[in-house]
Structure 1
Amino acid sequence: MRFGREFVSKMIPEWQEAYIDYAYLKTILQDIQATRKISVSNSQSKPSFARNLTRRYTRNASVSENHVIVFNAVTHAGYEHDMTYETAFLKTGEPGGDSEAAFFRTLDREFNKVNSFYRLKVEKARNQSLALSKQMDALVAFRHRVKEKKPSSSDSVSVDINALSSKSKENMTLGDLIKNEANKSILEGIRMNRTLETPLSAIKTILKVHKQEELKFTRENLKKVEERLQRAFIEFYQKLGHLKNYSFLNTSAVSKIMKKYDKIAARNVAKQYMEMVDSSYLTSSDEIHKLMVRAESTVIEHFCNSNRRQGMNLLRPKENKELHRTTFSTGFFFGCATSLIIALALIIHARNIMGTPGQRTYMETMFPLYRFFGFVVLHVVMYAANIYFWGIYRVNYSFIFGFKQGTELGYRHVLLLSFGLGTLSLCAVFLNLDMEMDSQTKDYRIVTELIPLFLLALVVAITLCPFNILYRSSRFFFLTVLFRCIAAPFYTVNLPDFFLADQLTSQVQALRSLEFYICYYGFRDFRQRQRNTCRSNDVFTTFYFIVAVIPYWLRFLQCIRRIIEENDLSHVYNAAKYLLTIVAACLRTAYTLNRGTTWNITAWVFSGVATLYATYWDIVIDWGLLQRGCKNCFLRDKLLVPHKTVYYAAMVLNVLLRLVWLQTVLDLKFSFLHRETLVALLACLEIIRRGIWNFFRLENEHLNNVGKFRAFKSVPLPFNYQEDRDQDN
């Protein structure tokens, strides 16, 4: 692999603007090379005596090659290590001299940018190390107080050191007494930070009640503190590793580009320039190494019982390896699903099932049950495609979603899940494909009607399974985020929360299929394969409205929570968008159930306004496109996809797919499509639109993180000191 590609591949995506612009420096070298070629060709066309003079001039110039560049280091007042380096190029009169001078000016600017960025990050790391040291002191004191407790004591003890019995004091050595007094002084003024949110804590947040709680010296609290602090040290250590890699990569880039310069310009100044680089803070500072050694020793001693191997395994970044069996299994299930689809098509055609009397009944009963799995499979496939393209264009989706390191699923893992579920669903369809309801032939079997319910129960059981099978960490992450969505607005809204809630807004028909499961099996319609009870039941009709607006209502509540916490006017506009969508969805549903001109007109008006509002929000706010005055017409300044037509096509598709609701108000009918089939196709188009939206939404979020250099999660610390609270106030 060439260094340029390796350099880009090893960059921290959110810091890419802070790296040496290696590609641009190479373009300047290409200009120097082109200028020198022209100069050589011109010198060859000169008379012989002119070429002799040129060779003599070149030979004399080589004597003073060490004086090609001169350095000047400017130290800023008050900052010992904040230095700016300037290189003066002394051969501007030679052919290509202007390009070479431009090369050194650009190289100085890029190197000073890198050196300054690194110094600032190291300073922040140093401050974070001091904060972690204070937290560690508090943890050691906390551990000591927990060990002081007797086995029969209650869950909490007094903070006062005088609670110790006089007999215990007599048996203590002077060192123990000094240690206890020191622990007492450390624990004074310290409170615990509550990081686990509950509905009660949400109310306290709204009421501006502090989240600190009194210290209770229990083993349960000790375990929580140790877990939080251990996670903080791991995140801090890996951040130091990224800084170390940042220093090495940029130093290597300068070395590589200077070697290329010497080769192209026929100079010998790379060694001289690298001496300056080696003396800079970027290369000479050993602060990161010291912090890493200190973090290693702390984790090994206090969290791993002085087991170095265990400690280093804990600190090293975890990688999610792509196994060959995953690729094989994905291909196997894909082949099975494809074969089953072809077999189904052939059987339906050979037996002329679509022309049987039971076809319509089957489409109104069994098809809505099975299409739920089709919606889920399609959505998961779109998510796998998103992961694939996020990886190609270096969108750090794992960091944005906050996945636990080493447990994030790759696109092959996601495809395995989708094709596996698709294969199971198609097998279930085969088991009760017969659409006949002839009482004489007895082709209809009641027991086969339970197959979709068994399949749904199996999927739910696997999702909730507590055992470490089928990506347990990812399943639990999904369930946690889903619960936070359902419990809105009692939890702080993070990106995974509203991202999943947005996915649910594109799965309205899947939610209605779940409602039909409850009705079809709850009212025992499956015994006669009919849905008369569901159609005539007022409760089912009411929930038919409610189910359609639940996802939008959850997003509305999330916006309300963000309005309260962030006091940002944009969330008010976003909440209004979802409220308007709720009204439009209810009116369209009312029109499908109660035909009439009034319902039709109101559905047209509110749906049209809601579509315009949502389309503008998708493209301008969520995707960050259609910006004024940007260098990319009707787009934005920074684009990850090199082909601009992709963005234009995505905007057009988003508008077109947003208009699928027109089928509802226009009541379009196709003789070759059953109504349930048409509803399923329109729902699939909405899922595809959401998949396209996902890519550009996360691309925009990634670029925002890049602009603010946000590359690491903020891990909440377990303890809060009195001085910290004073600063907050």
Structure 2
Amino acid sequence: MKFGKEFASQMVPEWREAYMNYTYLKILLKQILIFHRGQTRSPANQVNSRPAPPAKAASLKRRMSLFRAFSGLTSRYGNNSPKKDKEDEVILVSAMQPADEEQGEDGQSYQTIFLRSSEEGGDLELVFFRGLDHEFNKVVHFYKTKVEEVVKQAEELSEQMDALIALRIKVNNPVNRPPPAAAAAAAAVSPFINETNTGSYPLEVIHEEQQEKRLNDAKGYKMASLEVLNHVKINPTTETPLGTVKNVFKSLNLDFHFNKNEVRDAQEKLKQAFIEFHEKLRFLKNYAFLNQLAFSKIMKKYDKITSRNASDAYLKMVDESYLTQSDEVAKLIERVELAFVKHFCNGNRHQGMDILRPKAKREKHRITFFVGCFFGFSLALMVAIIASVHARDLLKSEGRTQYMNTIFPLYSLFGFLVLHMLMYAGNVYFWTRYRVNYSFIFGFKPGTELGFKEVLLLGSGLSVLTLAAVVSNLEMDLDPKTQSYKALTELLPLVLVIVVFLITICPFDIFYRANRYFLLVCLWHCICAPLYLVTLPDFFLADQLTSQVQSLRNLQFYVCYYGWGDFKKRNAETCNNSEVYDVIFIVIAVLPYWTRVLQCIRRLIDGRDSTQAMNALKYFSTIVAVVTRALYSQKKGITLKIIAASTSGVATIFSTYWDIVMDWGLLCRNSENPWLRDKLILPSRSIYYIAMVLNVILRLAWMQTVLDFHEAPFLHRNALIAIVASLEIIRRGLWNFFRLENEHLNNVGKFRAVKSVPLPFSYEDGYKNL
């Protein structure tokens, strides 16, 4: 792989704009190369040109180089290299006090003076060095800003650890306190630990291994002070229903109760904060290394193209800059790892490193194999179903209507799930291809996120189970030996539902347990809204449920069909003639939208974001539309039809506008891309226009089902409803990609690459300055 592609693949996606623009500098070098090639092809140069040396001479030269004296793995012979004359100098690099924001170390910007600008083609090289300086100053300024940021975060984590250690001592009340003599001996061995942490690097409050060894030799240690507990409070926890209720009724006591639950909760929060902080430090370390390598590569390319020797002078400046000389990040990484292993892993370094540095996810070829097998099985089963229906002319049989009213809704549930999985697999594929950091956005644990092949594996596996059940059902219906409408035949869909449910809640480490647990947690947060703090995965899942209304209604039909015994005679009269069923039919459709209303209200209260009030109003308008349309489908009447059409039209316009403008960030008037946004991930702008048009069309298709425009002479009513519900799932799949693209670009704009974790303690104002 070429360095340019490798460089792009190793970037932190949210920091892409802060990296050296390697592609742009390569374009400038290409212009210089084209100019030099034009010079060499001119008639004058062709006369004076010499033929290239034969390949044998080059091979001999390479062989002779094997007999030269070894220069060593260090630079011991570097000082003996001949010095260049001033006449051979190409560039001069100097640090200047800038007038703009491109600042390097200590407020300096680096400027390169090109000494050969008077030569032919020198203006192109001058442009190259100006671009190079711009990129280098940008990189140094960003790196220095981020280092200052992590140093402040490290100081804050140190203060949090002071409070945690003091709380541990207060709660556990250790009896092995060192006697005064032992403490004095410890102070004599290492007196600096009794002083306040005033070093240049934070986290020194946590004793390092060498210090601990000295203290152990002295048979004593320094107990942390409990004074800090008089100046800190526990931050309110509103991430749980109980914490939310307490906060609402103003009964939450923020003072310490000095119990083990507080220690456990604080330790868990700080553990997560250390993990995220370590990840940010690793990103910074990798950022510095990649950019240093990129500047080295681009200068070597320049030397090769121009036959000059300017890389030594420029790379010397790079080596002496803050980007290379700064060691704050390396020291912080070491200190964070020591502290994490000691305080959160009971000294087990192997376990701590597994948590802080998770291994890269490896692609398994057997997944690809099974995906291909399952898709092949699915196609074969579909062919078998079509052939069976056609050969026995089942579409014109007397039981067709009865089958479509009972069995078809039972199996269509799985069809909706499989289609949603296929759309999500497509989303994951394109998110990965266009470097949308969906794993970070959703908050998956590193290494547990599902790739598109894993999602396809689950979808195709469920497809095989469903189609096999359908084939078995048909065969059992038509076989005289099994008798028509036998109870065992009707129980196949229920067995399939139970199997899928048991796999979903299975506690064993099979079938992607981490992802199943993540899904169940988000689902529970949706059910308990607004008692939980709303995160992106929570409202993203709730949005998916709004597109699965028909699946929820099919689940309701399962309960009615099997609970009231209609499956014994394959007749849904009890469900169809029940007023309770009709009421629940409306409630089921309203629940996903009501969940989103409650989530928007919670986000409005937590974030004071006025746009969430409008978002809640949008979902409430959809609820009104759904209720009126359901009432019209049950009672009919011209008045209800007008009300249903009006509310549906308003809700559709409102939702479409919100999809395109708020969720996708499109339709910007003053954008560089007409009516889109300034930054786009997809290479073609036409895709965005097509997506907007499709979103409108598919929303209208979904609306027509409840306006009673679903009668077709060649299709059964349930079949047409299933088709339109499938169109809504496809629309949601399109929405998913652009929604996460917009979220990713917002993170890029803010250079937000790690999660912000709430800390457990807060200090009194002014205490830190004492």
Q: TM over 0.5: same fold? A: yes
Q: Which letter does structure 1 place at the counterpart of 2:36?
A: R
Structure 2 residue aligned with 1:69: 91
Q: Which letter does structure 1 place at the counterpart of 2:166?
A: A
The structural deviation recorded for 1:224 is: 3.4
Greater Cα shift, 600-609 or 182-191: 182-191
Match of 1:98 among 123, 129, 143: 123
Q: Deviations for 1:122-146, whole angstroms, at most 9, x for unmatched residues?
A: 1111122222222333333333344
Q: 1:224 to 1:467 in 2, by over 3 A?
A: farther
Match of 1:619 among 643, 655, 660: 660
1:710 equivalenced with 2:752 (yes/no): yes
Structure 2 residue aligned with 1:510: 551
1:453 equivalenced with 2:494 (yes/no): yes
- Asked if the contact 1:623/1:697 (under 8 Å) is kept, the reply is yes
2 CA distance for matches of 1:417 and 1:354? 31
2 CA distance for matches of 1:457 and 1:196? 35
Structure 2 residue aligned with 1:37: 37
Q: Deviations for 1:527-556, whole angstroms, at most 9, x for unmatched residues?
A: 111111111111101111111111111111
Greater Cα shift, 300-309 or 598-607: 300-309
Structure 1 residue aligned with 2:518: 477
Structure 2 residue aligned with 1:123: 148
1:683 equivalenced with 2:725 (yes/no): yes
Q: What secondary structure, in the 3-state scheme, does the structure 1 residue paired with 2:474 have?
A: coil
- Asked if the contact 1:75/1:81 (under 8 Å) is kept, the reply is no
Q: Which letter does structure 2 place at the counterpart of 1:254?
A: F
Q: Deviations for 1:581-636, whole angstroms, at most 9, x for unmatched residues?
A: 11112222222222222222222222122211111111111111111122222211
- Asked if the contact 1:87/1:108 (under 8 Å) is kept, the reply is yes
Q: What secondary structure, in the 3-state scheme, does the structure 2 residue paired with 1:183 have?
A: coil
Structure 2 residue aligned with 1:24: 24
- Asked if the contact 2:166/2:228 (under 8 Å) is kept, the reply is yes
Q: 1:144 to 1:668 in 2, by over 3 A?
A: closer
1 CA distance for matches of 2:513 and 2:46? 77
Q: 1:247 to 1:207 in 2, by over 3 A?
A: farther
The structural deviation recorded for 1:279 is: 0.7
2 CA distance for matches of 1:483 and 1:300? 33
The structural deviation recorded for 1:264 is: 1.7
Match of 2:225 among 183, 188, 206: 183
- Asked if the contact 2:710/2:720 (under 8 Å) is kept, the reply is no
Structure 1 residue aligned with 2:69: none
Q: 1:205 to 1:393 in 2, by over 3 A?
A: farther
Q: What secondary structure, in the 3-state scheme, does the structure 2 residue paired with 1:621 have?
A: helix
Q: Which letter does structure 2 place at the counterpart of 1:683?
A: A
Q: What secondary structure, in the 3-state scheme, does the structure 1 residue paired with 2:11 have?
A: coil
Q: 1:95 to 1:116 in 2, by over 3 A?
A: same
Q: 1:423 to 1:437 in 2, by over 3 A?
A: closer
1:114 equivalenced with 2:139 (yes/no): yes
The structural deviation recorded for 1:75 is: 4.8
Q: What secondary structure, in the 3-state scheme, does the structure 2 residue paired with 1:647 have?
A: helix
2 CA distance for matches of 1:307 and 1:173? 31
Q: Which letter does structure 1 place at the counterpart of 2:115?
A: L
Q: Which letter does structure 2 place at the counterpart of 1:388?
A: Y
Aligned pairs for 1:549-568 (under 5 A) are: 549-568=590-609
The structural deviation recorded for 1:203 is: 4.0
Greater Cα shift, 534-543 or 133-142: 133-142
The structural deviation recorded for 1:580 is: 1.2
Q: What secondary structure, in the 3-state scheme, does the structure 2 residue paired with 1:278 have?
A: helix
- Asked if the contact 1:65/1:268 (under 8 Å) is kept, the reply is no
Aligned positions, number: 695
1 CA distance for matches of 2:251 and 2:129? 56
Structure 1 residue aligned with 2:418: 377
Greater Cα shift, 301-310 or 398-407: 301-310
Structure 1 residue aligned with 2:77: none
2 CA distance for matches of 1:118 and 1:473? 35
Structure 1 residue aligned with 2:695: 654
Q: What secondary structure, in the 3-state scheme, does the structure 2 residue paired with 1:354 have?
A: helix
Q: 1:699 to 1:205 in 2, by over 3 A?
A: farther
Structure 2 residue aligned with 1:154: none
- Asked if the contact 2:32/2:124 (under 8 Å) is kept, the reply is yes
1 CA distance for matches of 2:247 and 2:97? 46
The structural deviation recorded for 1:204 is: 4.8
Q: 1:208 to 1:700 in 2, by over 3 A?
A: farther
Structure 1 residue aligned with 2:715: 673
2 CA distance for matches of 1:679 and 1:147? 63
- Asked if the contact 1:139/1:226 (under 8 Å) is kept, the reply is yes
Structure 2 residue aligned with 1:542: 583
- Asked if the contact 2:105/2:141 (under 8 Å) is kept, the reply is no
Q: Which letter does structure 1 place at the counterpart of 2:471?
A: F
Q: Which letter does structure 2 place at the counterpart of 1:18?
A: A
The structural deviation recorded for 1:45 is: 7.4
The structural deviation recorded for 1:318 is: 3.5
The structural deviation recorded for 1:521 is: 1.4
2 CA distance for matches of 1:8 and 1:38? 31
Q: 1:574 to 1:65 in 2, by over 3 A?
A: farther
- Asked if the contact 1:370/1:452 (under 8 Å) is kept, the reply is yes
1:422 equivalenced with 2:463 (yes/no): yes
1:494 equivalenced with 2:519 (yes/no): no
Q: Which letter does structure 2 place at the counterpart of 1:452?
A: P
Q: Deviations for 1:651-708, whole angstroms, at most 9, x for unmatched residues?
A: 1111110111225426242222111000000000000000011001100100010000
- Asked if the contact 1:194/1:213 (under 8 Å) is kept, the reply is no
Q: Which letter does structure 1 place at the counterpart of 2:367?
A: T
The structural deviation recorded for 1:172 is: 4.9
- Asked if the contact 2:18/2:142 (under 8 Å) is kept, the reply is yes
Structure 2 residue aligned with 1:394: 435
Q: What secondary structure, in the 3-state scheme, does the structure 1 residue paired with 2:106 have?
A: coil
Structure 2 residue aligned with 1:413: 454
Match of 1:279 among 320, 325, 342: 320
Give unpaired runs (5+ residues) of structure 1: 49-61, 151-167
2 CA distance for matches of 1:79 and 1:604? 62
The structural deviation recorded for 1:358 is: 1.3
Match of 1:135 among 133, 138, 160: 160
1 CA distance for matches of 2:741 and 2:105? 39
Q: 1:79 to 1:393 in 2, by over 3 A?
A: closer
Q: What secondary structure, in the 3-state scheme, does the structure 1 residue paired with 2:226 have?
A: helix
Q: 1:75 to 1:287 in 2, by over 3 A?
A: farther
Q: Which letter does structure 1 place at the counterpart of 2:134?
A: R
Q: 1:172 to 1:506 in 2, by over 3 A?
A: same
Q: Which letter does structure 2 place at the counterpart of 1:2?
A: K
Aligned pairs for 1:216-295 (under 5 A) are: 216-218=258-260, 220-295=261-336
TM-score when scaled to structure 2?
Answer: 0.85
CA RMSD in angstroms comes to 2.8
- Asked if the contact 2:104/2:140 (under 8 Å) is kept, the reply is no
Greater Cα shift, 627-636 or 227-236: 227-236
1 CA distance for matches of 2:481 and 2:519? 48
Greater Cα shift, 643-652 or 136-145: 136-145
Structure 1 residue aligned with 2:109: 84
Q: Which letter does structure 2 place at the counterpart of 1:138?
A: A
The structural deviation recorded for 1:196 is: 6.2
Q: Which letter does structure 2 place at the counterpart of 1:617?
A: W
2 CA distance for matches of 1:43 and 1:279? 45
Structure 1 residue aligned with 2:189: none
2 CA distance for matches of 1:478 and 1:364? 31
Q: Which letter does structure 1 place at the counterpart of 2:437?
A: N
1 CA distance for matches of 2:252 and 2:6? 48
Q: 1:193 to 1:325 in 2, by over 3 A?
A: farther
Q: Which letter does structure 1 place at the counterpart of 2:146?
A: K
1 CA distance for matches of 2:254 and 2:289? 41
TM-score when scaled to structure 1?
Answer: 0.90
Q: Which letter does structure 2 place at the counterpart of 1:698?
A: L
1:333 equivalenced with 2:389 (yes/no): no
The structural deviation recorded for 1:488 is: 1.4
The structural deviation recorded for 1:46 is: 11
The structural deviation recorded for 1:430 is: 2.4
Q: Which letter does structure 2 place at the counterpart of 1:10?
A: Q
- Asked if the contact 2:671/2:677 (under 8 Å) is kept, the reply is yes
1 CA distance for matches of 2:458 and 2:586? 31
The structural deviation recorded for 1:69 is: 1.8
1 CA distance for matches of 2:34 and 2:351? 56
Greater Cα shift, 381-390 or 328-337: 328-337
Q: Which letter does structure 1 place at the counterpart of 2:173?
A: E
The structural deviation recorded for 1:270 is: 0.7
